[in-house]
Amino acid sequence: MKLLDGKKLSEKILADLKGEIKKNNLKLALAVVLVGNNSISKIYIKQKENACKKIGAGFRLFKFSENIKANELKKGIEQIVQDPDNSGIIIQLPLPKNIINTQEILDIIPAEKDVDVLSEKSLGKLYTGELKILPPVVCGISHFFDINNINIKGKNILLVGTGKLVGKPLMLWFLRKEAAVSVVNKFTKDISVFAKNADVIISGAGVPKLIKGSMVKQGLVAIDAGTVIEKGKLAGDIDFESVSEKASYITPLPGGVGPMTVACLLENLVKLNQKK
């Protein structure tokens, strides 16, 4: 069993990005929109801020009240978009429940500043293969496959969860890579039926220890993208203790997908702003 060490690999990516920024004299700033006071969102934002410092990019946090009306939020984000100093923009999810149409808010960000690849325009380009960047989670996981020479063509891939950040973009990407993709969600009666045949399992459901060793086959690749805070501690979808006994590769927690996602977000920032 080999650990997919996201912390180590992300540090290398960030060091390379720092060199790229310095070499090309790029003046970059990541703008992050936070609506409300979500404690987990604050943890993720702090990680992004620290990574920006490491590569020599600016970081700007724009806070909005939890009770803001959708129209007011749209106006605020439009101003952030129009500021040329904001090279890339992300809207930290989830948005508060009073913002009913999340996609409408995400669509305000133009493709050239959409480092998270969440607007419909960006997703359309991803679907057709025209996009020059990948969604951060997809990018991070693709780095794991590349560096370890893990072949996915024709392999059985199981995606657990159909969220905007993990399940949906990964499904598009794996289909383009000619893998056989199965997707399960909270309505699936028995996940183990799908899990036992999977060569690769990527879980982003946010349900602690959802995937257990008894459900999976020998030699699988197990990637946990479903981190939640449970009783003050980080918990993942994959039961590391039992699944690691069967896995050929597995992500640790912490130090797996999380740091890779942040590094790839900044990789996207640099790619979208490379001088022509």
Whether residue 276 has pLDDT greater than 70: no
Sign of CA dihedral 70, 72, 76, 81: positive
Prediction pTM value: 0.94
- Of the chain, the percentage scoring pLDDT greater than 90 comes to 87
Whether residue 180 has pLDDT greater than 70: yes
Give yes or no on whether 25-110 and 136-259 have one common fold: yes
Prior bond to 254 cis, omega within 30?
yes
* pLDDT per position as a tens digit, 25-65: 999 999 999 999 988 899 899 999 999 999 999 999 999 99
Q: Is 158 helix (H, G, I), strand (E, B) or coil?
A: strand
What number does CATH give the domain 136-259? 3.40.50.720
Domain boundaries, the chain: 25-110, 136-259
* pLDDT per position as a tens digit, 225-246: 998 877 878 889 999 999 999 9
Cα separation, 146 vs 139, whole angstroms: 10
CATH 3.40.50.10860 fits 25-110, yes or no: yes
Amino acid type, 171: M
* Residue found under tokens 């197990």: 222
pLDDT value for 230:
79
* pLDDT per position as a tens digit, 56-113: 999 999 999 999 999 999 999 999 999 999 999 999 999 999 999 999 999 999 999 9
